[in-house]
Chains A and B, each alone.
Chain A
Amino acid sequence: DAMVIQNPRYQVTQFGKPVTLSCSQTLNHNVMYWYQQKSSQAPKLLFHYYDKDFNNEADTPDNFQSRRPNTSFCFLDIRSPGLGDAAMYLCATSRDLGGTGELFFGEGSRLTVL
């Protein structure tokens, strides 16, 4: 059974049209992460939540926002997608911070920007 579920799997949007990607988890993990992965590249961390505490990476553009209304759900909002934001967006969870435990990834949401 899938433990980290991302929707939609594929999203097509127009340049500048806001997009929301969702992630839900059944693991009851404290930490939820959003990564951006472009073709043939490593996942790049955008931000993470430890419980309700939000932590933004220094180089994450303001165009990217996130919400975590409860333990199970986390959303990635892209306010004005540009062509350079076309990528796979990966949600991941871990039990705690410190990077000492396994990261569980979802299947990803592939974003296309026209």
Chain B
Amino acid sequence: QQQVKQSPQSLIVQKGGISIINCAYENTAFDYFPWYQQFPGKGPALLIAIRPDVSEKKEGRFTISFNKSAKQFSLHIMDSQPGDSATYFCAASGGNFNKFYFGSGTKLNVKP
């Protein structure tokens, strides 16, 4: 059973637009939801993370929206820039789980 489902698989956005990536999770025991950004040939790096006690977290142009009842969370990139072009992975963990469950990734291409 896939614990974290991510969509879309790929996304093309014009410079200055809003990029939105969605994730849904299965297990209500998860209590930590990070987003990782990965550039080609590099390891993933933590971008932003949220815990279920808040519905939104913002860091600069990046915002996570969290809907506990729907078991969904999303990443919003405001004023998207070509430098944001990368693959984004959502993940979930916590509770009794000793590992992170990753989504399948979204390849974002921001066109100049």
B-contacting residues of A (Cβ < 8 Å)?
4, 6, 33, 40-43, 45, 48, 50, 55, 90, 92, 97-108, 110
Contacts and interface: CB of A to CB of B under 8 A. Distances in A.
Contacts of A50: 98
Tier of interface size on chain B: 20 to 34
A108 B40 CA distance: 11
Main secondary structure on chain B at its contact with chain A? strand
A55 B34 CA distance: 23
A6 B54 CA distance: 36
Interface of B: 31-32, 34, 36, 41-46, 49, 87, 89, 93-95, 97-100, 102-105, 107
Contact of A98 (B41, B87, B94): B94
Given A90-B44, A99-B32, A99-B93, A48 B105 contact: no
A37 B90 CA distance: 15
13 contacts: A40-B87, A42-B89, A43-B44, A48-B98, A55-B98, A92-B43, A98-B95, A99-B32, A100-B31, A105-B36, A106-B43, A107-B42, A108-B43
B26 to A, nearest CB: 15
A33 to B, nearest CB: 8
A55 B49 CA distance: 26
B38 to A, nearest CB: 8
A56 B31 CA distance: 23
